Amino acid sequence: MVDDANSARGFFPFLKRGGWVGLALPAWVLAYLAVHPLAQWVAFRLLRLSPTSHLGEAVAFFCYDVPKVLLLLTLVVFVVTFLQTFVSPAKVRKALSRHHAGFGNALASLLGIVTPFCSCSAIPLFIGFLRAGVPLGVTFSFLVSAPMVNEVALGLLLVLFGWKIALLYAGTGVTIAFASGLILGRWKLETHLEAWVQEALNAPALAEAEEAPPSLTQRIAAAVQGVKDIVGKVWPYILAGIGVGALIHGYVPQSLMAGLLGKHAWYSVPLAVLIGVPLYSNAAGVVPIVEALLGKGAALGSSLAFMMAVIGLSLPELVILRRVLKPRLIAAFVAVVATGILLVGYLFNAIL
Amino acid sequence: MLIEVFGPGCAKCETLLKHARHAVELAGIEAQVVKVSDYLTMAQRGVLSTPALAVNGQLKSQGKVLSSTEILEWLKG
């Protein structure tokens, strides 16, 4: 951005350089305030549904939740992607290569929350970490934490349910990632990496990357782009998630939910995990389902377990990891993480 | 000039490849745009997150779908 200093005069350049984002905030607040009255009007006036009927309840929930969650998502993604421009996998790797098991696992689990991560990057990241001397167990801590403690889901939980549940989710996710990596690291499973990975670890480096830190304008542009990409990609998941949520909200009787996923049913946590693993959804799409589950009397532990199973242990992710891990190692990985999720579910059903 | 796009073949990498080709067109230069989807090469070249882009063997960006104009900056220099 060479011409930044010259064009910084007047209002129009200000808008061009990202200032319009500041003006978007009041518009966002107005839209957010209008969501509830509008939803009521659409469901009960425009469609003339009765507020006490199943259909009325489901439609009102849907019309209220869709714009609300999309607005909140936009704000959360903007803030998160802006902050993420300060953290890159390269920086994380540098930080982790200096630490060993224990502290390294803790650091990896924490950094997993904020690092931008896409499951198609899992393999280059995995190999890159090991090449830089990050221990296998520490790398696993990161690989568990990065998808499971999803920063967008965390932001949505924060704005929908408050800081306690958000903290609970982040805290337990980080703990599972920490413990899983520590255990897997203890088992010395390096020989269970696929042969080509061993080869890739020893291959000489051809060139190392260096990147210039972005300017503020570039950070804002990245955040705007993040909103376009992420909101553009996840809105169908959100619609589907809220649709399922609305059906649960309007039609599933409270007693059924309390029986299946309530805190007194011993099988509720494993059931939640079993349903969750084969389901593939974007993290942001799970949150509305969890919202409806909790509203209908599902226990918090079971709901958290469900959410973590959906986003932390997804089949597509395992298919990708299978390319670098031999079957025994991938089985150990799934077993350790699933056990962690189960423990978290039982723990919170027991104490809350 | 050689432009390499690194990525296993997800939607993001394809978009970056398209943008890189477009940037070459805009610059009106002679340049070869290739896609690298081999993990071994990515490891050797220091690619940590995809999609990544290298110009003349030098890695310029990682984990970002750059716009054509952003890529154009490097082609002009």
What letter does residue B57 receive in the DSSP assignment?
T
Of B48, B57, B65, the CB nearest to A124: B48
Q: Is B34 known to be catalytic? A: no
Give residue-wise pLDDT tens across range B26-72. 999 989 999 999 888 888 888 888 899 999 888 888 888 888 988 99
pLDDT at A5: 42
The secondary structure of residue A193, as a DSSP letter, is: B
Instruction: Choose the most confident range, by mean pLDDT, from A84-93, A109-118, A311-320, B33-42.
Output: B33-42
Question: What is the total count of domains within chain B?
Answer: 1
- DSSP H stretches of helix in chain A: 11-14, 20-40, 54-84, 89-96, 103-114, 122-131, 136-148, 151-161, 163-186, 195-202, 216-251, 254-261, 268-276, 283-295, 300-312, 315-321, 327-351
The answer to whether residue A220 scores a pLDDT higher than 80 is yes
Q: Which of A120, A199, A319 is the mutation pick for testing B, counting most B CBs within 10 A?
A: A120
Which residues from chain B sit within 8 angstroms of residue A196, using beta carbons? Answer: 39-40
Domain span at residue B72? Answer: 2-76
The answer to whether the CB of B52 falls within 8 A of the CB of B61 is yes
Residue of B nearest to A2 (CA): B73
> Could you tell me which residues come within 8 angstroms of residue A317 by beta carbon, excluding any fewer than 6 positions away?
A119, A122, A147
CATH number at residue B60: 3.40.30.10
Distance from CA of B2 to the nearest CA of A (A): 15
What pLDDT, on a 0 to 100 scale, did the predictor assign at position A233?
79
Question: CB–CB of B49 and A123 under 8 A?
Answer: no
Q: Distance between CA atoms of A104 and A108, rounded to whole angstroms?
A: 6
∠A168-A274-A141 over CA atoms, to 5°?
50
Give the other-Cβ count within 10 Å of A205's Cβ: 10
Verify whether the Cβ–Cβ distance A203 to B43 is below 8 Å. yes
Q: For A9-23, write each residue's pLDDT tens digit.
A: 555 666 666 667 777
- What are the chain B neighbours of A116 within 8 Å (beta carbons)? 49, 63
In total, the C-beta contacts within 8 angstroms joining chain A to chain B are 89
CB B76 within 8 A of CB A238: no
Which string of DSSP letters, residue by residue, matches A100-115? -TTHHHHHHHHHHHHS
Q: Residues A191-196: what's their mean pLDDT?
A: 88
pLDDT in the model for residue A4: 43
Show residues of chain B in contact with A206, CB under 8 Å: 44-46
Instruction: With a threshold of 0.90, tell me whether the complex ipTM lies above it.
Output: no
Q: Which residues of A touch B63 (CB under 8 A)?
A: 88-89, 116, 118, 121
In whole angstroms, what is the distance from residue A99 CA to residue A138 CA?
Answer: 9
Q: Quick: pLDDT tens for A78-104.
A: 988 888 888 888 888 888 888 887 899
Range ranked top by mean pLDDT from A43-47, A94-98, A217-221, A342-346: A342-346
Query: Which whole number is the average pLDDT over A274-283?
Result: 78
Nearest by CB to A127, from B39, B60, B65: name it.
B39
Kindly report, residue by residue over A131-181, the tens digit of the pLDDT: 888 999 999 999 899 888 888 888 888 878 888 888 988 999 999 999 999
The span from the CA of A197 to the CA of B40, in Å, is 8
